[in-house]
Structure formats: structure tokens, C-alpha cells
Amino acid sequence: MSSLPKPIIFSFFSGSGFLDLGFELSGFDVRFVNEYYRPFLEAYKYSRSTMKLPSPEYDYHLRSIDDFVSGEHAADLHKLVEQSKAEALTGFIGGPPCPDFSIAGKQKGHEGTNGKLTRVYIESIIANKPDFFLFENVKGLWRTVKHREFYNEMKIQLEQAGYILTDRLTNSIEFGVPQDRDRILLFGIHKNKVGNYDGADLEQDFNWESRIRFSKSLVRDRSLWPHTDVYVENSKRKLPSILKAYEELTVEYWFKKNNVSNHSNAIHFFKPRQGLSKFESIAEGDDSKKSFKRLHRYRYSPTAAYGNNEVHLHPYKSRRLSAAEALAIQSLPKEFHFPPQMTLSDMFKTIGNGVPYLLSKGIAETVFEFLDEKVKN
């Protein structure tokens, strides 16, 4: 039984709260929520209401993170952080918008409108000195040479500010999410919380793999999974016996688990402007093209990215995925709902932007375990 007082979380770029939910349900106290886009923040509030979770003690903040770093609210944030640090271990979590670093994006990097927000988030950590932090972003920041240079520069600045760091390129499928989604995760702890400690110690003690349940290399072996089947609307198929151990990584498992047909967001999907011939011509499991990928019921989904004309089709229905089905692919609990007045574009954008729930929960539990065992409050 842990004796660690509930660590306090300040959340930035909160979206509709997928990352926060993992921390909320893993022993953390999410007290401060910052999101720039009103519809996402309203969805955050609505989902917490339907799940009967408390509102953040330090409130919801609808504004740019710049306001808390170099703007008029910088002093307010610093005061709240100091107040929290006097009470319990205090951390920042956030995944700045990432299309400027995405391999499939415009590759503007840290000079792009969204890319600049990564620097601002790092500046907010350095200015306020939370006890620990988590940074999440796309694999392009790690894998692309020009972006990796910027990433390493940010790490040097954090180390100079007193943080000890560890990072990992992580795939959500390792945590039981039915989705192939790589993300770079960076954890930092301020050295005044760990005494005579260095990066090698942190690499050894922060067990990134403690909540991993599936081998990424094994699960991503395409020979394990069915490839394509002829599309037949409302068809029935049995799970291949070879997939018994991996059933929970299939979209069909999550559709059933979340009872998606009876979810309040089941009716929320884009209707085709033209005939159904295009939807009916694509085989079940054919996700080879940029757009109009049809999922296979007994396979995991490609990355849940629903913008830039990328269309994901239901395995055995002649339509696009519903918001309820996309939430299931992001491994959200079935109790998570969007407000009915939210636009379809906003629903699918915030789903695509969000951190899969089981990934966030696994990482949150890993962070909590490390703080409980190694950190003096």
C-alpha cells in the first residue's frame, strides 16, 4: 500500500483529456487544465461529468500556454505551482500539437506554428520547476534528423535546469491498445528530489516496460494477422484460433467491449456525399492507401489519424467509423462520451490528437511507482 500523498498534476495541451484520464485513474490529482480550443475543453468537462469525476481544483484555463510563460498569467501559474509543491510532489504533463514534426506532416519543425509550442512547454517547465514532468510527441521528433537536433537541444536545456531525463519510443499497442501508434515519451525528475542520482540511475530505475503486455516486434509481424477478406456488409466471421492470445488487440474486441452500437456517440459519423460504390469496393483489411482504409475486424487499427482526407472505414458496414468506434480504438472507457452538440470535425480531430487511454494509464502507473519508491517528498 503506497504512503505517497497524491501527486499533483498541471496539464497543458489537454485536448479532451485522454492523457489526463490515465493519470486521474492512477492515483494522481489533476488540478490544473489548460487547453486553447474551446470545443475540446467543453468535451473535457462533459466527459468528466458523465464519468462522475471531480473538476480540477485550480480550474479549467481556456487560453494559450504562452500566457502562462511570458504573458499576464505567468505569475499566477508560478504561484499555484509553488503552492502545490509545498503540499505534494507536483508534475507537468503535456503533448504539444505535433503536425510540424510528423513524418506525414509539413515538416516545419520547431519553426512551425505548432512546433513552437514544444519550446514554450519546455520553457514553462524550466520557469516553474515542477518536481517532475512528462512530455509526449510524435516519433518524427525522435526519428527525423533535423527534428532530433531540436529535441536534443531541448533536453540539454532541461538538464541545465536541474532535470534528470529518460525517454523511450513507445507504441500504444504494447499496452493493449488496438492501434499501431508510435510516440516519443520523455520523463524528467528534478535532481533536488532524488539526491545523489544521475541519468544512468534513472534509466535503470524508471521501468518504462513494467506495464507493457505485448511485444511490439511480435505483434506487428503482419504474417500473424489476416490480410484482407472480401467486403460483405454485416458479415459474420470467427476469430482465427491463432489470434486467441491477441484478441484484445482487435478492433472487434473493442467494439464489443465498449458496446459501440449503443454508445451515445454511435450516431456521430460522416455521411458520404456521393454513392456507396467507393465504400463497398474496398476489401476488409485493405489499409494500403493513404485514404479510404478499411479496418479488419480481427486486426488492430492503423494510427487513429482522421484528418488530411484520411478516411477509415468500418470493417463490415458501408460507412466511415463512428466517434464511438474511434474512441474504442483509442481504448477509452465506454463511459467516456462527447457532448452531442460537438461537431463531427471536432470529435474526430480531438480523437486523433489524443493519447490512447491505456497507454496514458500504463505510463501514469509507471511514474507513480517510480515516485513512490525513489522520491522524497
Provide the annotated active-site residues. 98
63 vs 126: CA distance, rounded Å: 20
211 vs 122: CA distance, rounded Å: 27
Residues 6 or more apart whose Cβ sits within 8 Å of residue 245:
none
Helix (H) or strand (E) holding 350: helix 344-353
**Cell 505569475, located at residue:** 75
CB 320 within 8 A of CB 270: yes
Nearest Cα residue to 12 out of 107, 167, 123: 123
Q: How far is CA 313 from CA 65, 176, 316, 351, in A?
A: 36, 22, 9, 16
Q: Among positive and negative, which fits the CA dihedral 235, 238, 242, 243?
A: positive
Nearest Cα residue to 212 out of 165, 171, 253, 257: 171
CB 335 within 8 A of CB 272: no
Q: Among positive and negative, which fits the CA dihedral 108, 109, 114, 119?
A: negative
CB 334 within 8 A of CB 306: no
CB 367 within 8 A of CB 375: no
Q: Which of left, alpha, beta for 241 (phi over 0: left; psi -120 to 50: alpha)?
A: alpha
CB 26 within 8 A of CB 53: no
Burial status of residue 155 (CB atoms within 10 A of its CB: 0-12, 13-18, 19 or more): middle
Secondary structure (3-state) at 317: coil
Q: Which of left, alpha, beta for 17 (phi over 0: left; psi -120 to 50: alpha)?
A: left
